[in-house]
Amino acid sequence: MPEPALDTAAAPSHPILDRLQAQFANDVRETSLYRGDVSANIAPERLLDVARFVRDDPALRFDMPIDVTAVDYLGREPRFEVVYHLYSTEHHHRLRLKARVPEDNPSIASVTPVWVGANWLERETYDMYGIRFTGHPDLRRIYLYDEFEGHPLRKDYPKEKRQPLIGPGSRRGESVGDEHPYSTDLPPPPRGKGMLGADLMRVQVGPSHPATHGTVRMVVDLDGETIVNADVQVGFLHRGFEKECESGFYYQAIPYTDRLNYSSAILCNVGYCMAVEKLLGIETPPRCQFLRVIAGELARMADHFLGIGATALELNAFTPFLYLLESRELVWDLVDAICGARVTSNYVRIGGVSADLPDGFAELARAKIAKALKLLDDAEKVLTENPIFRARMEGVGAIPPEELIAFGVCGPVLRAAGVDLDLRRAQPYLVYDQLDFDVPLGTRGDNMDRYLVRLVELRQSARIIEQCLGMLPAGPIDVDDPAIRWPGKSKVFGRMEELIDQFKLVTEGCKPPPGEVYVGTESANGEIGFFLVSDGTGKPYKCRARTPSFSNTQPLARMIQGRLIADLVPTFDMINLIGGECDR
Amino acid sequence: MATRVVSVWRPRPMQQSWGRTAWAVVTGMWVTNRHFVRNLLGFIIRKPTTFTVQFPEQRLEFPNAFRGMPVLVQMDNGKERCVACGLCEWACPTDCITIFPAETADEIERYPEVFDINLSRCMFCGLCEEACPEEAIVMSQNVEVAVYSRRGTIWHKEDLLVPVSQLGKRLQHLHRGYDR
């Protein structure tokens, strides 16, 4: 039974914790400052008060819910720990709130009245751990289906467990007992609520629809062509990423992170490996950091090329789609040359990267990126001022920035609304503090701004790569520690000690000390964060991925409410939902 | 070095700039037609400017680092280099490798009696290659692994053996990283 040994011996002092303790002296049970992560364990009864306080207090201002999840400490009482990650867009600091709930009555107050974006996150936590959030407006399962038995991320849920089949003759529609009191079936649309007393029409968009890339189902109630209500349902690509990570060594999860955001896989690799490195408390050599930035920015370019191209395609502009896919192909040639695969790159390693740049990479990169940007110019000439494109994009999908923040939206969608939040600038990691680049902000927050922000980001990524290629230092690409990164093969082939190191590392994995960390990095669509809990063994006790597509898709229903059904398509596209990342 | 916040340029409202909007349509037509004429000319003079590769008649040249399916390295004497230590089996995230070791009277005593890779599970991640202490399992450049049956997705030792000479590019890539 793992007991997370956080350094709680001496109560750590931190302005955020001091402020919290001054207000809630008796309800803050435990605080910690492990690896720089500010964390406070609070009494579950006072959760809502604490949440309101940390949101409204001018010195704290935690206005953005980054993540809600739980950790199952099986065998310990109280068994579950609900974990809230918060971010302040004003002060750019982070806080982790934790509250323990017992096994026999796993319920806690919902924080949706404080942060509306906690809605889906709490639904996911309910789905995966069976924790009931009292006062939640809509506590349905989000990823799994009604008939699913049990809660898969609980530690006593076996990975191999089979589930009942659903289909004709199954238990669909029946009450599934006390275990799942909430059905995912929607109530029928209210009758006679449309124009002139007509009935609303319910239309299912998706899960497989030509206008949606990625499998997502949108149930829209229409009055004529106006969307009255929309329910966005995700989870069709759910494959148990977190359970899978918990059952393998740390290094074995890296290929799985490729499959989160499959159009910018390297950025997910980087986020995961940085989280493990923080857990281990190591720093990677400078050359490795530059390589990660180069590869990551290439991936960001590929993602934006696809995002803009797919939007153009779904608005019937087929030609720019072809130009942009050609651009992306050129970028992927570079990714391929670095790491050997276009999509499933599997490039970054814990404490290093898998390979150095190939010979002559700088010239190749300059030539290919110049060609890709030329094609981008062409696509831009076709799209940006085209009246049809503008009519579909301008003024569509905008909601106020405060609301976006409360939903936990990040990345280009948030920056298009004029909020200066780019983690590469706000909390520089790797070598981003040595680089010179612009962070584009929009003014109106509509789809046009989201498109224009992505255009500028593409060119800035190219600029970052150019700078990195010029500044690339010589030196090792891995940490020199045989307990973390396996030794060079020439030593393994010839020497006994290194051979033993290799055997130990492969069969036991690297072993971070017990503790928990959260690392958020800026991926192409926003903040991708990994929350890792280690119990001192070679496998993560808990590996949670906070993905931008999930939080960005949540306000989609709100964005398209009251708009025409045709506005659904560009809004959905500019959110750039990546199914693998949203559904994990 | 510093980051800077910039505001994106936005076209003026359409109602105020009809001339520019009309010009944008003309520009768009110019761009698409330029591409069309260039590709057409390339087609006529038999120097294609299009990006598409006519597979299988034409094939792309893969970079040295390319990761195709994992194969077993065959030594000059026709035997596998593998000593059945099982590290690739450990490292594989998807458990797609099955090894039964055995022993012989040869110079290298251990060898795999059975070495199966289930390619329907394999995700070409290359962790087996990194774990291997003998350079016995290597990612090849082969990606054409389609089969007619599920049984055919399981590749046995005989199918997996590839002579060293055919793995040059990937080995060249690996050797660059050996002395780190």
Higher pLDDT pick, A224 / A206: A224
How far apart are alpha carbons A283 and A484 in whole angstroms?
12
Question: Tell me, what's the pLDDT at A376?
Answer: 92
How far apart are alpha carbons A352 and B89 in whole angstroms?
23
A470 interfaces chain B, CB cutoff of 8 Å: no
Q: Which amino acid is at A362?
A: A
Residue A119's closest CA among A407, A445, A533? A407
Q: What is the mean pLDDT of residues A233-255?
A: 89
B6 interfaces chain A, CB cutoff of 8 Å: yes
A201 interfaces chain B, CB cutoff of 8 Å: no
pLDDT tens, position by position, B123-164: 998 899 988 888 889 999 888 888 898 888 898 888 888 888
Which pLDDT band holds residue A583 (cuts at 50, 70, 90)? confident
pLDDT tens, position by position, A314-371: 888 888 999 999 999 999 999 999 988 888 888 999 988 888 888 889 999 999 999 9
pLDDT tens, position by position, A279-318: 998 989 999 999 999 999 999 999 999 999 989 988 888 8
pLDDT for residue B91 is more than 80: yes
Residues 6+ positions from A332 with CB-CB distance below 8 Å = A302, A342, A343
pLDDT for residue A170 is more than 60: no
> With pLDDT > 70 as the criterion, what percentage of chain B qualifies?
99
B48 interfaces chain A, CB cutoff of 8 Å: no
A133 interfaces chain B, CB cutoff of 8 Å: no
Instruction: Compute the mean pLDDT over every residue in chain A, rounded to the nearest whole number.
Output: 86
DSSP tally for chain A: helices H, then strands E: 20, 16
3-state class (DSSP) for residue B89 = helix
Q: What is the mean pLDDT of residues A364-386?
A: 91
Question: Tell me, what's the pLDDT at A174?
Answer: 47
Tell me which long-range contacts A169-177 makes (C-beta under 8 A, separation of at least 24): A171/A147, A172/A146, A172/A147, A176/A146, A176/A147
Q: What is the mean pLDDT of residues B78-91?
A: 87
Residue of B31, B63, B90 lying closest to A378 (CB–CB):
B31
Question: Tell me, what's the pLDDT at B166?
Answer: 85
Which pLDDT band holds residue A451 (cuts at 50, 70, 90)? very high
Which pLDDT band holds residue A186 (cuts at 50, 70, 90)? low
CA of A136: how far to CAs of A97, A113, A290, A378, in Å? Answer: 19, 9, 44, 48
> Which token pair is B164?
């060293």
- Is beta strand A201-205 parallel, antiparallel or unpaired with respect to A217-223? antiparallel
Question: Tell me, what's the pLDDT at A371?
Answer: 92
A492 interfaces chain B, CB cutoff of 8 Å: yes
CATH code of the domain made up of B70-179? 3.30.70.3270
* Partner-chain contact A435 B32, CB within 8 Å: no
Question: Tell me, what's the pLDDT at B1?
Answer: 56
Handedness of CA A329, A335, A337, A339 (dihedral sign): negative
B143 interfaces chain A, CB cutoff of 8 Å: no
Radius of gyration of chain B (CA): 26
A48 interfaces chain B, CB cutoff of 8 Å: no
* Range scoring the smallest mean pLDDT among A59-63, A183-187, A487-491, B65-69: A183-187
CB-CB contact of A446 with A397 (8 Å): yes
Beta pairing partners, A543: A532
Q: Quote the strand ranges of A438-523, DSSP E.
A: 438-441, 515-523
Higher pLDDT pick, A56 / A488: A56
> With pLDDT > 90 as the criterion, what percentage of chain A qualifies?
30
N-terminal to C-terminal alpha carbon distance within chain A:
27
B134 interfaces chain A, CB cutoff of 8 Å: yes
* Partner-chain contact B3 A424, CB within 8 Å: yes
pLDDT tens, position by position, A20-46: 888 888 888 888 888 888 899 898 888
Radius of gyration of chain A (CA): 24
Where do the structural domains in chain B lie, given as residue ranges?
25-58, 70-179
CB-CB contact of A580 with A260 (8 Å): yes
Residue of A346, A425, A453 lying closest to B126 (CB–CB):
A346
Q: Identify the residue among A489, A503, A510 best suited for mutation to test binding to B, counting B beta carbons within 10 A and taking the highest.
A: A489
How far apart are alpha carbons B51 and B35 in whole angstroms?
12
Query: Is residue A185 packed enough to be buried (19+ CB in 10 Å), middle (13-18) or exposed (0-12)?
Result: exposed
Residue A503: its chain B contacts at CB < 8 A?
A: 85, 87, 133
Residue of A251, A387, A425 lying closest to B21 (CB–CB):
A387
CB-CB contact of B86 with B101 (8 Å): yes
Nearest CA in chain B to A384: B11
* Range scoring the smallest mean pLDDT among A397-411, A420-434, A464-478, B15-29: B15-29
Q: What is the number of residues in chain B? A: 180
Q: Got the DSSP string for A255-298?
A: HHHHTTSTTSHHHHHHHHHHHHHHHHT----HHHHHHHHHHHHH
Residues 6+ positions from A105 with CB-CB distance below 8 Å = none
Min distance A464 CA to chain B CA atoms (Å):
11
CA A227 vs. chain centroid, Å, equals 28
Residue of B1, B7, B179 lying closest to A434 (CB–CB):
B1
* Partner-chain contact A506 B10, CB within 8 Å: no
Question: Tell me, what's the pLDDT at A185?
Answer: 61
User: Which of A7-21, A189-203, A338-352 has the highest mean predicted lDDT (pLDDT)?
Assistant: A338-352
Residue B123: its chain A contacts at CB < 8 A?
A: 255, 344
Higher pLDDT pick, B1 / A572: A572
- Is beta strand A64-72 parallel, antiparallel or unpaired with respect to A80-87? antiparallel
CA B147 vs. chain centroid, Å, equals 18
Question: Tell me, what's the pLDDT at A533?
Answer: 92
ipTM of the shown complex? 0.88
Q: Identify the residue among B9, B167, B180 best suited for mutation to test binding to A, counting A beta carbons within 10 A and taking the highest.
A: B180
Question: Tell me, what's the pLDDT at A11?
Answer: 64
> Which token pair is A69?
């999840």
pLDDT for residue A443 is more than 60: yes
Handedness of CA A182, A186, A191, A195 (dihedral sign): positive
Min distance B179 CA to chain A CA atoms (Å):
6
A474 interfaces chain B, CB cutoff of 8 Å: no
Question: Tell me, what's the pLDDT at A373?
Answer: 92
Q: Got the DSSP string for A501-537?
A: HHHHHHHH---PPSEEEEEEEEETTEEEEEEEEE-SS
- What b/e readout covers A69-100, taking b as 16+ CB neighbours within 10 angstroms? bbbbbeeeeebbbbbbbbbbbebebbbbbbbb
pLDDT tens, position by position, B6-47: 888 888 787 777 888 888 889 989 999 999 999 899 989 988
Min distance B14 CA to chain A CA atoms (Å):
8
Nearest CA in chain B to A441: B7
